[in-house]
Amino acid sequence: MASLTGKVAWVTGAGSGIGQAAAVALAREGASVVLTGRRKEPLEETAATIRKAGGKAVMKPADLMKSSSVSAVAREIEAEFGRCDILVNNAGLNIQKRTFADLTPEGIDEVVHGNLSSAFYCTVAVLPMMRRQKDGILIHTSSVAGRVPGPLSGPVYSAAKHGVVAMSHTLNMEECVNGIRSCAVLPGEVATPILDKRPVPITKEERAKMAQSEDVGDLIRYIACLPAHIVINEVMINPTWNRGYVASLQRAKD
């Protein structure tokens, strides 16, 4: 029997990239997976992949930057399944005009709400179910930028992802007595569609050397399968060919 048989996993940002890979990996372990994202078509692709392999998936499209939409999805999950065992808080975004010289209030709001507010909304929405169960795990896709500020991702994205890490750690501080665990996953560069928002284009060759969505999805699956008495508070995953390291080595030679 797969280790997540009978479990219900809610995966946000499930239409592409890390979210899609995590959803497929969790379904492969036997979980019934709830797929959420803003656009229905990508969710249909993820659901089809899962069902083709014999897994269970339902789609719940929603704009996670709206708390009312998040609450509505959580109510539907509770009504349909009666539980939520795993939340993969993966939805996120970035903007091209991300330096302080280019930032606008609208851009700031979009990045903060898309990465941090949405994660809080989903977390608060599932906690009542997990508290009743005295069990549950929340896995949040942060970023290396959530630990190491730098110009590549921009100040707002970095600040929002730092907030996700802080949220995850404080969840463990408060909810450990309820059997609830929280893990912040901090990927470095991953070849996902978010790279298309980079001000400087990323080549096909560079993307091939990066971590792939499936690598991070498998890590999320591993975390979700850990026994209930164990929590990985925070984990960083990077490509071996780390472009930051390579650039530093080159500068050291110059």
- Whether 197 is in a domain gets the answer yes
Q: Coil, strand or helix: which one is 205? A: helix
Residue 101: domain span: 8-253
Residues of the chain with pLDDT > 70, as a percent, come to 100
Q: pLDDT tens for residues 134-179?
A: 999 999 999 999 999 989 999 999 999 999 999 999 999 999 999 9
Catalytic amino acids? 157
- Whether 33 is in a domain gets the answer yes
- Whether 1 is in a domain gets the answer no
Distance CA(23)–CA(16), nearest Å, equals 10
Q: pLDDT tens for residues 42-84?
A: 999 999 999 999 999 999 999 999 999 999 999 999 999 999 9
pTM attached to this predicted model? 0.95
Q: Are 53 and 29 in contact (CB under 8 A)?
A: no
pLDDT, position 134: 98
Stretch (H or E) spanning 77: helix 67-81
How many domains does the chain divide into?
A: 1
Exposed, middle or buried: residue 1 (CB in 10 Å: 0-12, 13-18, 19+)?
A: exposed
- Whether 247 is in a domain gets the answer yes
- Residue entry with tokens 């909304």: 121
pLDDT, position 194: 75
- Whether 154 is in a domain gets the answer yes
Stretch (H or E) spanning 175: helix 155-175
- Whether 2 is in a domain gets the answer no
- Whether 136 is in a domain gets the answer yes
Sign of CA dihedral 220, 183, 39, 31: positive
- Whether 60 is in a domain gets the answer yes
Q: List the CATH number of the domain containing 205.
A: 3.40.50.720
